[in-house]
Amino acid sequence: MFPNRLSSRLTLTALRWTAVSRTCPPSCLSTLSNCFLQNQTARSKDGFHSESAVLRRLLCSQSRFMLRPRETQSRSFSLSGANVVNSAPAHVQPYLRLMRLDKPIGTWLLYLPCTWSIALAAEPGCLPDVGMLALFGTGALLMRGAGCTINDMWDKDFDKQVARTACRPIASGEISRMQALVFLGGQLSLALCVLLCLNYYSIALGASSLSLVITYPLMKRITYWPQLILGFTFNWGALLGWAAVKGSCDWSVCLPLYCSGVMWTLVYDTIYAHQDKEDDVKVGVKSTALMFQERTKLWLSGFTAAMLSGLVVAGVNAEQTLPYYAALSAVAVHLARQIYTVDINKAEDCWKQFSSNRNLGLLLFFGIVAGNLLKESKEI
């Protein structure tokens, strides 16, 4: 018991010093973080509950400061998500971090299948409806925030034990579960306002996805395929976008597009899951990364082939033209390079490859737009 007490007090003293001095280098901060997480259980048994809370708050405060870009520390401003969050009032920042406004890649990955569907549904020779794109962008931001809030409410105890997630607002104690629930209600209410701007078919279709949003975070406790459930959830916009423009789904286009999106999610989220595989084993949660292990690249290649096949079918049924298939070829090259070069045992590289999928999704969107514009000239 004495070594645990000593370790706790030394870590607490060090973190108090770094919180004041702000001079702790990243390597030192990493060591303190590991010391903190490894001694969580021991401190609970020895009655160090108050010190544990102080440690977590100090560690998270110092981590956020160290991770801020230099320009943020010098009080200049840019439109990056992290800078927007760091420039917000202190009492608002935990809520913005809870909805992951500082990490917008998730919002992009939720939004992009919507843009594909909206662009495919546009009239031949016309650009996609800008107002509809903006409406879905707002909805994606709100629903991604709501999904993250639900996820963190479910995973509070797990997040405390994982180095990458220990500083999330609910896990660190900055926001209580009740405060998170009220915030969730606000996000869902605003998302409902967005949904009500659509036609009745789309309202019913959009509302039916809520069960996936709520249950997805539980899947990692039950199955090694939570990434598949995330795919079903994140790509609902591939159905909803077309329905919002046309009034109902054309399943010959929407279904292969949706299935392609699900396959895409299996690719990028399996890569993402490799960041946490060691911690996942310790806390007892499941993922495709743990199931595939060293066979990951083979599985990802299969998902990629299925994704590309579905996009070809969707393109043929939507009567797409050459620019679409040129973009599809570029998407194939991007995915092949992503899978071939990713180091699944290096968390930094997994994050880099995962984040690159925003560019992949935008590439496909612009290919759809260009292919649709060419339809008119071919008819003339």
Exposed e or buried b per residue across 180-190, where buried means at least 16 C-beta atoms within 10 angstroms of its C-beta: beebbeebbeb
Return d(Cα 299, Cα 30) in angstroms, integer: 33
Hunting for tokens 């919507």 — which residue is that? 114
Query: What are the residue ranges spanned by the domains of the chain?
Result: 89-374
pLDDT of residue 76: 45
pLDDT of residue 157: 81
Residue 186, C-beta contacts closer than 8 angstroms, at least 6 positions apart: none
User: Helices 251-273 and 347-355, interaxial angle, to 10°?
Assistant: 160
pLDDT of residue 78: 54
Average pLDDT along the chain, 380 residues, taken 10 residues at a time: 46 44 42 46 43 51 46 49 86 92 93 97 94 96 93 85 84 91 95 96 94 89 94 96 96 97 97 91 90 95 97 96 96 96 94 96 97 72
Residue 98, C-beta contacts closer than 8 angstroms, at least 6 positions apart: 145, 148, 149, 152, 168, 169, 170, 175, 180, 183
Return d(Cα 137, Cα 114) in angstroms, integer: 9
pLDDT of residue 364: 97
Decide: 115 and 133 in contact? Cβ < 8 Å: yes
Q: Identify the CA nearest to 358 among candidates 322, 325, 331, 318.
A: 331
89-374: CATH topology: Tetracycline Repressor; domain 2 (1.10.357)
Residue 52, C-beta contacts closer than 8 angstroms, at least 6 positions apart: 8, 40, 43, 44
Return d(Cα 100, Cα 147) in angstroms, integer: 10
pLDDT of residue 71: 38
| DSSP codes, 228-241 | HHHHHHHTTHHHHH
Running DSSP on this structure, what letter comes out for residue 75?
Answer: T
pLDDT of residue 142: 95
pLDDT of residue 94: 92
Structure tokens at 127: 């650009």
Is 253 in a helix, a strand, or coil? Answer: helix
